[in-house]
Amino acid sequence: MHAENEVHFRDAAAKALLDPQLRANFRRAMDGLITKRKAQFPDPRDLQDLRDLSTAIRSRSLLCLPELLEQLEASCARNGIKVHWAETCEQANQLILGILQAKGAKTLVKGKSMVSEEMHLNAFLESKGIEALESDLGEYIIQLDGETPSHIIMPAIHKNKDQIARQFSQKIKDAKYTEDVDELTAMARKVLRQKFLDADAGLSGVNFAVAETGTLCLVENEGNGRMSTHVPPLHIAVMGLEKVVARLEDVAPLYAILTRSATGQAVSTYFNLITGPRGAGEKDGPQEVHLVILDNGRSRIYADPQLRATLRCIRCGACMNHCPVYTRVGGHAYEAIYPGPIGKILTPQMEGVGVRHDLIHGSSLCGACGEVCPVEIPIPEILVRLRREATHDDMASTVAGKATGRTATEDWAWRLWAGVTKRPALYRVATWFATRFGKALPANAPLIKNWTQSRTKPVPARRSLSERMRAEGASHE
């Protein structure tokens, strides 16, 4: 099975590399985001202190995770928020369907939520006759085209305004063709305002959930998150179980580093704290608020001390913005809910290393992702670990699909390598042949072919290091 899946990323990436428009769209956007983030952290000491503090807060939250989740549930119940638990995406979808059906809801407006993407919630609800409309402008744009997000913060980053102008003029009723961004935004505002007004229910993600106060925090710029959670009579929030923190105070540094890392903003337009449904005497706000806590493999990741660091992620997307691979191929090439470096470690952990064997190899291991991560997730180290898990079954771990990425060719090549390097005489003969005749090896020879397709063929030196040492001596010792 893995062999078939293995080529997904390679093929999709090769295709993306041939699309100059896509490459230009991503390059421009990522370069801009890198510059803006840098400008937000002028003092390296402040940045490191803030990263250390944020990492410590997330690590503490994870150490106490079961207790904090129970505390969150109790605090939410006290505030009138109903908490539900789902082990799988299917279960979460069924729970949400049940909540909507109990209220007779037929239309749902959604704020941005990557967990709902993970659940394929929109398709599920539509199959049950419920309209699920994305209201974040980027999500709305891609939903019109039947696409998935290509970035976790900027879902429509792969499109330019000409493409969006064409799409709006074709798909929005009575829309005229314009490339003016303000006019395009106004068109979406008009359509979506009516949807907010009419919707039976609203759905949102959760950036941070505060155990002590039972508060759901939402970070956004557009106001669609507030619209979705304040206007309809029913609000459903979905979150991965790792999103909880102990105290509201903990949220302040995480929020500060999130917006700066993500889009280079010191602060977002709205930071919304939802602690309950419409209270006594309140004239607006939802009558009911539900929180769905999703596991979907997270408790398995949690069980491993090294892999647990993955759950520190605050979904800022900085690793994508700084990744040389992501910048060149874009988010869709990963064919995963979470693209880029964090997706490369998260997806195989959720779905198994065999199933998404291709992803863990789609990295240059340059380390930029780990360097920029605001909560110091060692992404490169975890990638290397998962590469080993994909081909070996010699570690006690909970990673699914161990050793299923092993191929006969690779096995053979490494065995040959080990056999030669373990025998000094054989090694000397092999290097003698490689230095004398390596140049003659054709570029399309097996194993070399994959490398030389897009690179110059490596040519061995004319003499090996030991030969030169013998001949020249170590004169500069």
Q: 308, 315, 406, 428: which one contacts other proteins (CB under 8 A)?
A: 308
Within the chain, how many helices (H) and strands (E) appear?
A: 23, 10
Which residues within the stretch 159-198 sit at the binding site for other proteins (CB under 8 A)? 159-161, 164, 181-182, 184-186, 188-189, 192-193, 196-197
Contact range with other proteins by CB under 8 A, out of 25-33, 333-341, 367-375, 465-473: 25-33
Query: Residue 119 interacts with other proteins (CB under 8 A)?
Result: no
Structure tokens at 457: 């063929």
Write each residue from 243 to 262 as x if it is in contact with other proteins (CB under 8 A), else as -, in one continuous string: ----xxx-xxx-xx------
With both helix axes pointing from N to C terminus, report the angle between 181-198 and 137-144 in degrees, rounded to the nearest 10.
90
Residue with smaller CB distance to other proteins, 83 or 323 = 83
Residue 108 in 3-state DSSP? strand
Contact, 383 vs 363, CB < 8 A? yes
Site size for other proteins (CB under 8 A): 102
Minimum CB–partner distance for residue 172 and other proteins (Å): 14
Contact range with other proteins by CB under 8 A, out of 4-12, 82-90, 120-128, 334-342: 82-90
Beta carbons within 10 angstroms of residue 466's beta carbon: 11
Q: 7, 39, 303, 461: which one contacts other proteins (CB under 8 A)?
A: 303
Residue with smaller CB distance to other proteins, 2 or 110 = 110
Residue with smaller CB distance to other proteins, 247 or 436 = 247
Query: Residue 28 interacts with other proteins (CB under 8 A)?
Result: yes
Query: Residue 91 interacts with other proteins (CB under 8 A)?
Result: yes
Enumerate residues 6+ apart whose C-beta is below 8 A from 174. none
Residue with smaller CB distance to other proteins, 285 or 460 = 285
Structure tokens at 354: 């065999």
Write each residue from 193 to 232 as x if it is in contact with other proteins (CB under 8 A), else as -, in one continuous string: x--xx--------------xx-x-----xxxx-xx--xx-
Which residues within the stretch 98-117 sit at the binding site for other proteins (CB under 8 A)? 98
Closest to 225 (Cα-Cα) out of 85, 115, 113: 113
Backbone angles phi, psi at 202, to 5 degrees: -125, 150
Residue 73 in 3-state DSSP? helix
Closest to 328 (Cα-Cα) out of 315, 343, 339: 339
Query: Residue 431 interacts with other proteins (CB under 8 A)?
Result: no
- The vertex-156 CA angle with 153 and 158, nearest 5°, equals 110
Beta bridge partners of 236: 203, 290
Query: Residue 144 interacts with other proteins (CB under 8 A)?
Result: no
